[in-house]
Amino acid sequence: MDKNFQEEQFTGIIKFTPPLYKQRYQFIKDLVGKYKPKKVADLGCADCTLLQMLKFCSSIEVLAGLDICTSVMKENMHRLSPLPGDYLQPAERPLTVTLHQGSVAHKDPCMLGFDLVTCIELIEHLEQSELMKFPEVVFGFMAPRIVVISTPNFEFNALLPNKALFRHPDHKFEWNQAQFQSWALETARRYDYSVEFTGVGHPPTGMENVGFCTQIGVFVRKYPQTCESAQSEKPTEAVYKMVFRAVYPSLKDEKYLKNAVVSEVIFTAQNIKRSLLDRLMAEHEEYNNDPVERKFQFQPSMNRFSEDLGKLVVEKSMEPFVHGNVVYIPLTTIFSFPKVNRLCGTFEKLCKLIAGKVTLSSDGSAVMFNTELENEEN
Amino acid sequence: MTGRARARARGRPPGQEAAIPSVGAASVQQTLPGQPLSRQQPQQSHVPPSVSEELGGRGRQRVPQGVPQSQDVKKPEGLQISAGFQELSLADRGGRRRDFHDLGVNTRQAIEHVQESKTGSSGLAIKLTTNYFRLTSRPQWALYQYHVGYSPEMEARRLRSALLFQHEELIGKTHAFDGSILFLPKKLGNKVTQVFSRTRNGEDVKITITLTNELPPNSPTCLQFYNIIFRRILKMLSLQQIGRNYYNPNDPISIPNHRLMVWPGFTSSILQYEESIMLCTDVSHKVLRSETALDFMYSLYYQVEQQKFRDVCAKELIGVIVLTKYNNRTYRVDDIDWDANPQCTFRKADGSEISYVDYYKRQYNQEITDLNQPVLISQSRKKRGNLMPGPVVLIPELCFLTGLTEKMRNDFNMMKDLAIHTRLPPEQRQREIGRLIDYIHKDDNVQKELRNWGLSFDSNLLSFSGRVVQGEKILQSGNVFDYNPQFGDWSKESRGAPLICAKPLDNWLLIYTRRNYDAANTLLQNLFKVTPSMGIKMNKATMIEVDDRTEAYLRVLQQSITRDTNIVVCILSSSRKDKYDAIKKYLCTDCPIPSQCVLARTLSKPQSCMAIATKIALQMNCKMGGELWSVEIPLKQVMVVGIDCYHDTIAGKQSIAGFVASMNHTMTRWFSRCAVQSRGQELVDGLKACLQTALRDWYKWNKYLPSRIIVYRDGVGDGQLNTLVNYEVPQFLDCLKSVGKDYNPRLTVIVVKKRVNTRFFAQCGGGGLKNPPPGTVVDVEVTRPEWYDFFIVSQAVRNGCVSPTHYNVIYDTGKLKPDHLQRLTYKLCHMYYNWSGVIRVPAPCQYAHKLAFLVGQSIHREPNLLLSDRLYYL
């Protein structure tokens, strides 16, 4: 993977393309793509950059962020809010994004039941005492299916232009490969997880033994999903403070589904009506041989003609028809349109969802439009 | 054509686009034509909207393109800043860095006679409340402005912030920092403070924080700052920013019949007003459409013939503002590239090549399903984020349409459905406005933020007293009409009364299609009934039947018009624009004859036929040079000028300035001209010529030149005031000088603004609120101290809230008392002949608007000057 970095001089500056932090996020994104977790938590989410990327991943329904510092989360947290587009076209999947202020050394029930927990460049910021509690909180208490932990590889530092001991002044330690792996293996063993090691940021050719610039451990729980009862055995009080919560509009929510269905039904019906009237008009023109333009308004003189036609098609209940000034578009026809069909699933559900919102014929089988009303003002 | 007149005859809000040559325009012209799929070459300019790998939301990291690269070299670890700081960018103001409030344009200081007072005196006092809240600050409040320097120089703004806020104990939790300017509510111990921070690379950076300014509450910088803080607050309230305003997406009103969604929201601005700094906030409604540009294209595809599809599509979409699905940005569609599709590739900032499909998939997980759709092109004129000005490519499937198209505005049903939700009566409007201030007062975080800055808002709307000036008597051939000033309408009272000047219909054409023979006859019969009492002598029209085709109409016009023809009346069977345009174009340019188009449908209801015939008769009379009524004008030798602009948003190419000038003392006759100028040309050059001709014509009529000229200038966009003061006014003066050595008339230039956020509510008995009556004048409290300005509510509205018109006198050597100028302005609002009532703006503005609209919409070049003494454009 030579393309992942450029060497200017062998002992000189190493530049990663794309930047290393992006590679780390991409790694998580790929993992999400592979395992399709529904509930994902990012511990040490900082300015929520990873969460912002993950909110676009369609498998995720619950997304939580945890950080010790509120202000850094607040900086960009509004980017986690739904966008106008999310309201205009609610997604199929539900999504709730929450941010919590708290420490990974403390247990809070809001972190239970997750499929994936990520700790990107987190552990090296922990004090010794916090690091001691960390495995019990994440692996013992939260016990998600997958845990991803990334941390700097101390051995790689020699290749970086950084002259300081650690890469960041706030780092309490930086481990070499052996240190990280032994910690990880021990943790995995104790909490019944398997662990695989990988990383991002390849070392230069010939120096492979240095290892990745960022080392990553992917932990997978060996025992099956903790059942509900097991979780309830872990009664803990809430200690995290919720700083942000956004519920995305979703078609799972009846309110949005109703709106979407009504809107789609009326739109579909109007399309059918227009093409029906156009067709009638065209036939009428031929019949009349009148050199009027194709798109002139529906005229009262036509109604007699269309009434006949209406009688013709009235038997075939699938066909829309015109009767007097009223156009009838059977719900079954509308239901046969893929978009409506996909939204409602069943015909019964369609009827239920549009009840009271769309003008129907007396027997409730067709959408009604009055053509005269429109003629007046168009 | 009454249907047309009723439609909101208005272009887009006059922006500045027209006058400023677009930087990107030329480049897209070169790159666009037919480059299917192979657009991979160094087309740096063709990029999707957010190429910087920026994530959703309003990414507002203002870094010039190119810089991120170097920044990455320095920081291979990327940017994971853990130091807490609150991002603040001056761009939080809402996108563009234009000054919408025309701050710093101080025109009053040059107008001698209003130094002491600019208020009028006549009329009865009225108690008003308005949508303003006072902003108060602690006593001795000041904002401390610091310059922050870095050594060695740090480029990235985020890095600069992170380094600075490593010293939070020094700076405090409350701060606003844009990368070099730091605002603090407190004063640091020393004038110059030096601190050291360490980057993640272990580099030590010296930061020098220097006090540069101690700003009093009303300094312009402070005002800017308040607005930034207020936007922060709105964000804290989870309101979504769209364009300049903030909206609440949680309770949208959906109008499925038209696929519309309306979001309630607020406009807001904090400014220094007459007595105090205030927040002006109004209810705003954002109309969004729950269909994407692609949906729209598809439904259009099924509606029009195939060969016309691209043209129609371009016509409908160009000029529309779209909202992208994946982030919260709006773009104006400037072009459609039919040769491109989502599979085309572009070059990312890092140099790699990627197709749009892959880009959106990777970046936003947005699946593009239609791979054959064309792409939309938006010319960004200003720098947006790290995008340089230039064309931006948008995928129709990922763009929602917003706002209303001209076609939708003309759809009466749609507008009716919409008005139910958007036109709030005074009490409801006040309640909604109060809701915002409630949110602010009840939200702990917001209160904390405000407290930290030492600011707070009044909880009550501002109340004060305005004046209602005396109603105007309408004079018409010896009659004086007594009408109810509350309604501002004398159509009933004046019906059938003789006109001041009636033009005979000796020789006129009535053109109709076979289908509309009945309608034509109805019109004729009714005109015979209504004209005699008005004093209009009428012969039977020459009735001509035509085929319902544009060419047929034109042929008939060419064949039948003679030198004696007074006017041509055409009955049209549909509101199709092309026919109307062709008729108007021919009769306004090649063959200058007044014309009247009537929709057949308008004449179809027997019960309203008489009323409609009356209206048409009046309109026809005006178009032939007749005069209807007048009001008392005490000023002598004054020429009133009205100017308005029309910006052709569809073609995006030309702007039209309509210019009208009164020709007689009673202001019943108007000279008109218009200036058509293409993009980049200055409007004012054309206006100079207009003024010259107007003066020549005035002289012809009156045998002397006016000693006073009052210009009502409409169509001035937000932030354009400076240009007007520094460029347009001097040109007017120049033009007057060129007339003659001893000619030195007094000149008054008044900027007229209809689109203001100010609302007034009158208190009625029992604590309720209603609209203030026509004639309400406000020249205190909510006006600006640096301007000679006032508000007049001249019109009456039946539903919703009346919107006052703002008048800003930017130049005045006329020395008229403010009271007289206000009265004259109000009088002129009575003089628009197409409406027997008071209108929102002085008649010359509305005439100028009608003229510019007709030329911009239908004629596209300057009408024949033979028509210039008549109101042919009504």
pLDDT for the residue B50: 42
CATH number for the domain spanning B616: value is: 3.40.50.2300
- Report the 10 Å Cβ neighbour count for B566: 20
B413: chain A residues, CB-CB within 8 Å: 373-374, 377-378
Residue A293 has pLDDT above 80, yes or no: no
Compare B819 and B254 and report the one with higher pLDDT.
B819
| Domain limit, last residue, from B624, B649, B668 | B624
What local confidence, expressed as pLDDT, does residue B631 receive? 95
Whole-angstrom distance, CA of residue B790 vs CA of residue B779: 5
Query: How far apart (Å, rounded) are the C-alpha atoms in residues B222 and B449?
Result: 16
Residue B263 with chain A: CB contacts under 8 Å: 84
Does B229 share its domain with B294?
A: no
Residue B258 lies in a domain: yes
- Tell whether B712 and B849 lie within a shared domain: yes
Do B735 and B856 share a domain, yes or no?
Answer: yes
Domain shared by B280 and B297, yes or no: no
The token pair at B57 is 């939301």
- In this prediction, what percent of chain B has a pLDDT beyond 90? 45
pLDDT number for residue B868: 93
User: CA distances (Å), B475 to each of A278, B10, B499, B501, B837, in order?
Assistant: 52, 30, 10, 12, 13
pLDDT at B386: 54
pLDDT tier at A3 (50, 70, 90 boundaries)?
very low
Q: Is the pLDDT of residue B23 over 80?
A: no
Distance CA B136, CA B141 (A): 10
Determine contact, residues B544/B511, Cβ cutoff 8 Å. yes
User: What's the pLDDT score for residue A235?
Assistant: 61
Query: What whole-number distance in Å separates Cα of residue B850 and Cα of residue A31?
Result: 63
Among residues A44, A52, A242, which one has the least CA distance to residue A147?
A: A44
- C-alpha span between B836 and B839 (Å, rounded): 9
CB contact under 8 A, A82 and B86: no
- Shortest distance between the Cα of A291 and any Cα of chain B, in A, equals 8
- Is B855 found in the same domain as B716? yes
Q: Is B129 helix (H, G, I), strand (E, B) or coil?
A: strand
Identity of residue B781: E
Closest Cα in chain A, distance from residue B211 (Å): 25
B644 catalytic, yes or no?
A: yes
* CA-CA-CA-CA torsion sign (B799, B253, B435, B139): negative
CATH code for the domain of B697: 3.30.420.10
Classify the C-alpha dihedral B641-B646-B647-B648 as positive or negative. Answer: negative
Query: Chain A contact for B767, CB < 8 A?
Result: no
The model's pLDDT over A199-253, given as tens digits with 9 standing for 90+, comes to 999 888 888 888 999 999 999 999 887 555 455 556 678 899 998 998 999 999 8
- What pLDDT does residue A132 have? 94
Q: Is B289 left (phi over 0), alpha (psi -120 to 50) or beta?
A: beta
In the predicted structure, residue B42 carries a pLDDT above the cut 80: no
| Cα–Cα separations (whole angstroms), residue B506 to B537, B562, B567, B583, B787 | 7, 12, 9, 22, 52
Quick one: pLDDT at residue B98?
Answer: 52
For residue B359, is it within any domain? yes
A47 in reach of chain B (CB within 8 A): yes
pLDDT of residue B317: 87
Query: What is the pLDDT, as a whole number, of residue B840?
Result: 95
Highest mean pLDDT among A323-337, B84-98, B216-230, B767-781: B767-781
Of all residues in chain A, the one with the smallest CA distance to B236 is A78
The pLDDT of residue B65 is above 60: no
Residue A58 forms contact with B (CB below 8 Å):
yes
Q: Are residues B524 and B660 in the same domain?
A: no
ipTM of the shown complex: 0.73
Q: Give me the residue from B80, B299, B323 closest to A46, CB to CB.
A: B80
Residue B219 DSSP code: S
Q: From residue B97, how far is each of B52, B90, B266, B381, B383 by CA, in Å?
A: 21, 8, 20, 12, 10
From residue B289, how far is each of A4, A341, B79, B260, B413 by CA, in Å?
44, 22, 38, 5, 16
Say whether A81 and B57 touch across the interface (CB within 8 A): yes
Which amino acid would we find at residue B43? Q
Do B226 and B292 fall within a single domain? no
Q: Report yes or no: B745 and B706 within 8 Å, Cβ to Cβ.
A: yes
Say if residue A267's pLDDT is above 80.
Answer: yes
DSSP B754-806: ------EEEE-GGG-EEPPPTTEEE-SSSS-TTSEEEEEE----SSS---PEE
Could you tell me if B292 and B401 are in contact, meaning their C-beta atoms sit under 8 angstroms apart?
Answer: yes
Identify the DSSP state of A47: T
Alpha helices in B561-672, H assignment, sequence order = 577-585, 609-623
Shared domain for B228 and B208, answered yes or no, is no
Share above pLDDT 70 across residues of chain A, in percent, rounded to a whole number: 82
B582 lies in the same domain as B612: yes
Q: Are residues B210 and B232 in the same domain?
A: no
Block residue for tokens 């956004």: A246
pLDDT score of B510 more than 90: yes
CA–CA dist B109, B117 (Å, integer): 12
Q: What is the pLDDT of residue B82?
A: 24
Query: Three-state SS across B667-702?
Result: CCCEEEEEEEEECCCCHHHHHHHHHHHHHHHHHHHH
Range name among A140-154, A224-238, A361-375, B230-244 with the lowest pLDDT average = A224-238
Q: How confident is the model at residue B682 (pLDDT cuts 50, 70, 90)?
A: low
Question: Average pLDDT of chain A?
Answer: 81
Report the length, in residues, of chain B. 874
DSSP 8-state secondary structure symbol assigned to residue B513? E
Cβ pair B710, B641 in contact under 8 A: yes
CATH code of B359's domain: 2.170.260.10
Task: Please tell me if residue A89 touches chain B, with a CB cutoff of 8 Å.
Answer: yes
Does B29 reside within a domain? no
Give me the mean pLDDT over the B802-824 stretch.
Answer: 95
Percent of chain B residues topping a pLDDT of 70: 86
**SS3 of residue A332 by DSSP:** helix
Q: Provide the domain count of chain B.
A: 5
Residue B721 and residue B669 share a domain: yes
Q: B82 and A78: CB-CB below 8 Å?
A: no
Q: What is the mean pLDDT of residues B842-847?
A: 97
Q: What is the C-alpha to C-alpha distance for residues B349 and A19, in angstroms, rounded to an integer?
A: 13
pLDDT of residue A325 exceeding 80 = no
The answer to whether residues B158 and B252 belong to one domain is no
Give the model confidence (pLDDT) of A296-320 as tens digits: 333 333 333 344 444 444 444 567 7
Closest listed residue to residue A134, CA positions, set A183, A62, A99 = A183
Q: Say whether B682 is catalytic.
A: yes
Catalytic, B714? Answer yes
Min distance B682 CA to chain A CA atoms (Å): 38
Average confidence score pLDDT of chain B: 83
CA-nearest residue to A87 within chain B is B249
Residue of higher predicted confidence among B873 and B326: B873
The DSSP bridge pattern shows strands B204-215 and B143-151 to be antiparallel
The predicted model gives B477-485 an average pLDDT of: 88
| Amino acid present at B487 | F
Tell whether B802 is covered by a domain: no
Residues 286-305 of A with CB under 8 A from B: 291-293, 295-297
Q: How far is A229 from chain B (nearest CA, A)?
A: 36
Is B850 among the domain residues? yes
CATH number for the domain including B169? 3.30.70.2620
Sign, CA dihedral B234-B236-B239-B245, equals positive
Residue B490 lies in a domain: no
Beta carbons of A79 and B59 less than 8 Å apart: yes
Contacts with A71 from chain B: Cβ below 8 Å: 84-86, 173
Interchain contact, B413 vs A168, CB within 8 Å: no
B852 is a domain residue: yes
A134/chain B closest Cα distance in angstroms:
20
Q: Which of B6, B77, B196, B402 is the mutation pick for testing A, counting most A CBs within 10 A? A: B77
Catalytic-role residue among B46, B647, B806, B849: B849
Higher pLDDT, B860 or A185: A185
What pLDDT does A295 receive? 39
CB contact under 8 A, A75 and B85: yes
DSSP result, B131-161: SEEEEEE-TT--EEEEEEEEES----HHHHH
Query: What residues in B contact A52, CB-CB < 8 Å?
Result: 55-57
Q: Is residue B251 within 8 Å of B264, Cβ to Cβ?
A: yes
Q: Which domain holds residue B177?
A: 140-215
Whether B411 sits inside 8 A of A46 (CB atoms) is no
For B259, the closest of A72, A263, A297 (CB atoms) is A263
Query: Rounded distance, CA B351 to CA B163, Å?
Result: 30
Q: Which of these, B336, B334, B329, lies nearest to B402 by C-alpha position?
A: B329
pLDDT band at A275; cut points 50, 70, 90:
confident
Which B positions 571-610 lie with beta carbon below 8 A of chain A? 573-576, 601
What are the beta bridge partners of residue B147? B181, B210
Under the banding of pLDDT at 50, 70 and 90, the label for residue B201 is low
Q: Last residue of a domain, which of B605, B624, B643?
A: B624
| pLDDT in the model for residue B286 | 87
Question: B29: which residues sit within 8 A by CB, 6+ positions away?
Answer: none
Among B624, B645, B675, where does a domain finish?
B624
Domains of chain A plus CATH, in order, are 20-248 (3.40.50.150), 253-281+317-377 (1.10.10)
Of residues A359 and B533, more confidence is placed in B533
pLDDT at B154: 81
Size of interface A-B (CB pairs under 8 A): 177
**Which segment of B57-66, B619-628, B855-864 scores lowest on mean pLDDT?**
B57-66
B511: tokens are 């053109």
Q: What is the dihedral of CA A171, A172, A177, A182, to 10 degrees?
A: -140
Q: What are B561-611's pLDDT values in tens digits?
A: 999 999 999 999 887 788 999 999 999 999 999 999 999 988 888 888 899
Q: How far apart are CA B301 and CA B316, in angstroms?
A: 12
| Each residue's pLDDT tens digit, A161-183 | 766 778 877 788 999 999 999 99
Q: Which of A281, A259, A265, A279 is nearest to A368 (CA)?
A: A265
pTM for this entry: 0.77
Q: Say if residues A357 and A262 touch (Cβ distance below 8 Å).
A: yes
Section A118-134 average pLDDT: 93
Residue B90 pLDDT > 50: no
Q: How far is B601 from chain A (nearest CA, A)?
A: 7
Q: For an interface test with A, give the residue of B50, B53, B80 to mutate (most A CBs within 10 A).
A: B80
Answer yes or no: are the C-beta atoms of B100 and B280 closer than 8 Å.
no
CB B557 within 8 A of CB B508: no
Q: Is residue B751 part of a domain?
A: yes
Contact B214, B191 (CB under 8 A): no
- Asked if B256 lies within 8 A of A89 by C-beta distance, the reply is no
Identify the CATH number of the domain in which residue B255 sits. 3.30.310
| pLDDT of amino acid B14 | 34
Whether A157 has a pLDDT exceeding 50, the answer reads yes
